Amino acid sequence: MVTPKTLQELLEDLPDCRVLGDAQAPVPGVAYHSRDVVPGGLFVALKGHRTDGHLYLADSLTRGAKVVVTEQELAPPDGVTVVRVPEARLALAHISAAFYDHPSRELTLVGITGTNGKTSTTYLLEAILGAAGCRVGVLGTVNYRMGESTWPAPVTTPESLDLQRLLREMRTRGASHAFLEVSSHALDLRRVDRTAFAAGVFTNLSQDHLDYHRDLDEYFAVKSRLFHEILANGGSSQGLSILNLDDPRGLELRDTVRGPVLTYGCHPGSQVRPLRHRFRQDGLEALLTTPRGEMEIASRLVGPFNLANILAAAATALGLGLGRAAIARGIAQLAGVPGRLERFGPPEGPGVFVDYAHTPAAITQALAALQTLDFSRLITVFGCGGDRDRSKRPLMGRAAAAGSKLVIVTSDNPRTEDPLAIIREIEPGLELSGLPRLSAAAAGRGEAGFLVVPERGEAIRLAVSLAAPGEAVLVAGKGHENYQIWGAERRHFDDREEVAAALKEYHG
């Protein structure tokens, strides 16, 4: 239960708002979709990419809204209070946090941002805190969850109203800590404003979301909000910044953030770094140096990028005051992360890995991880999403070609684009890297090059059928997702199911 609030209480500290009507009006509910308005409730009109909440003001009033928050000049209808604000999304963040009694102030909340590694880092932290006996909530790309309860994750970082509701739910269920994947969209759209973070983690930055951001510098500037602005949301003290010094942008943040900093990586200046490490096909092991002494860790996660994720999680846990024994125990207990270099098939067959890699850097990292495991040949299956950053398509092709002997180009989420048109924009990256386009017969003879197989299930089956024992197949791009988007339709499709079926055929 949350404490009933008046409008004035919900607007506390919100800058530049103007109330036309009853500031003492009770507010039984808050909504940003008109269909969710409760009688007597408050409706915030948000401007989106596809529509504008101001178009639904009339519907919100029909459903019983007594308070509307708007960026437009609006004469108050009879019995309705209008709140005029310069930025509705910022207003929603303030109102949501106040409506749910600021749950983040009652939790130890950590935000993880970066292009890659966010999901794996949250899973590692969840395992570490669990090993220490803490109750933990997680909000991220795979799902929103706490203990045995899970909620679907339509977006990586929920809208501010949904975020505050979920944090309150987690706190009510006894959570002491919560880990939140913080996307650049969420930072830009004010979803985490007015949220109190104990710490923020920066994993890395590489090309992604340039259909939304103008360029990499803007993308980084938005990511930086977590460290330059949001970590001070909870009050006068700044939260802890946990930064990857192996990324040049991490070095930049180290030199510009206020407040306490803890660094990690293989960079010699990192406070949490490996003194030695060894990669195996079934995991990795390392000796870490930390501000609290050395720590031996062993993990079932594979490859160099998972060592980076483990360093991020270990540094964060140390920054939260956890002991080295609990950290090592939690890392060892995590069996894997859904759709993150997730291996399928028996040891005696080819290794087939499903990974969420959907950026050039992520493809490079996943293939580099497999190269450390001494497979004799790497086959990669991937595509690119439609209606998204077109400039990365040839770069994805180049990344796949650089680490693979055979590449099978297929569909990802075509959305409203022609799948073959997307593939045509990938091909130059493959060709410029020296991989020729092959016939099926040439691929069957083991020649190096690439094939085009637009149907994703067929591409996966072909890749598995061409792999010999001791070779590896990387199925990249969708990871944990169980759908493909064609036009506006979501169709069930799960790479993991397709891989399992292909391996069943392979082994007879």
Residue 233 has pLDDT above 80, yes or no: no
Structural contact between residues 54 and 45, judged by C-beta atoms closer than 8 angstroms: yes
Q: What average pLDDT does this structure show over 268-285?
A: 95
Q: Are residues 123 and 10 in the same domain?
A: no
Between 79-83, 109-113, 147-151, 428-432, the lowest mean confidence (pLDDT) is in 147-151
- What are residue 146's DSSP bridge partners? 137, 149
Per-residue confidence (pLDDT) for residue 315, from 0 to 100? 98
Confidence band (pLDDT; 50, 70, 90) for 235? low
Q: Are residues 252 and 129 in the same domain?
A: yes
4: helix, coil or strand? Answer: coil
Of 491, 312, 480, 478, the closest CA to residue 410 belongs to 478
> Distance between CA atoms of 486 and 482, rounded to whole angstroms?
13
Tens of pLDDT, residue by residue over 340-398, are: 999 998 888 899 999 999 999 899 999 999 998 889 999 999 999 999 999 999 999 99
Residue 209 has pLDDT above 60, yes or no: no
Highest mean pLDDT among 43-52, 263-272, 278-287, 339-348: 263-272
CATH classification of the domain holding 468: 3.90.190.20
> Distance between CA atoms of 264 and 371, rounded to whole angstroms?
24
Taking CA atoms, 119 is separated from 51, 128, 139, 213, 288, in Å, by 30, 14, 9, 22, 22
Q: Are residues 62 and 183 in the same domain?
A: no
Percent of the residues in the chain that have a pLDDT greater than 70, as a whole number: 98
CATH classification of the domain holding 142: 3.40.1190.10
Per-residue confidence (pLDDT) for residue 51, from 0 to 100? 82
Tens of pLDDT, residue by residue over 52-86, are: 999 999 999 999 999 999 999 988 999 999 999 99
Q: Are residues 88 and 117 in the same domain?
A: no
CATH classification of the domain holding 35: 3.40.1390.10
- Give, as one character, the DSSP assignment of residue 157: S
Q: Are residues 313 and 434 in the same domain?
A: no
Q: Are residues 480 and 376 in the same domain?
A: yes
Highest mean pLDDT among 300-304, 317-321, 365-369: 317-321
How many domains does the structure of the chain reveal? 3
Q: Are residues 249 and 385 in the same domain?
A: no
Q: Are residues 367 and 466 in the same domain?
A: yes
Q: Are residues 20 and 150 in the same domain?
A: no
Q: Are residues 158 and 56 in the same domain?
A: no
Residue 502 has pLDDT above 80, yes or no: yes
How many whole angstroms from its chain centre is CA 483?
17
> Distance between CA atoms of 319 and 202, rounded to whole angstroms?
14
Q: Which domain holds residue 364?
A: 342-506
Per-residue confidence (pLDDT) for residue 16, from 0 to 100? 95
How many angstroms separate the most distant Cα atoms in the chain?
Answer: 78
Give the number of other CB atoms < 10 A from CB of residue 19. Answer: 18
Percent of the residues in the chain that have a pLDDT greater than 90, as a whole number: 88
Residue 287 backbone phi and psi in degrees, to 5: -110, 120
Q: What letters, b where the CB count within 10 A reaches 16 and e where it falls short, cover 49-70? A: eeeebbebbeebbebebbbbbb
Q: What average pLDDT does this structure show over 232-255?
A: 88
Confidence band (pLDDT; 50, 70, 90) for 211? low
Please give the torsion angle defined by the CA atoms of residues 73, 77, 82 and 86, in that order, rounded to the nearest 10 degrees.
-20
Confidence band (pLDDT; 50, 70, 90) for 285? very high
Residue 115 has pLDDT above 80, yes or no: yes
Q: Are residues 316 and 363 in the same domain?
A: no
Q: Are residues 264 and 321 in the same domain?
A: yes
**Domain end: 314, 333, 352, which one?**
333
Per-residue confidence (pLDDT) for residue 22, from 0 to 100? 96
Average pLDDT of the chain, as a whole number:
94
- What are residue 283's DSSP bridge partners? 280
Between 89-103, 305-319, 340-354, 443-457, the lowest mean confidence (pLDDT) is in 340-354
Residue 491 has pLDDT above 70, yes or no: yes
**Domain end: 333, 358, 384, which one?**
333
Between 157-166, 260-269, 312-321, 339-348, the lowest mean confidence (pLDDT) is in 339-348
**Domain end: 333, 362, 378, which one?**
333
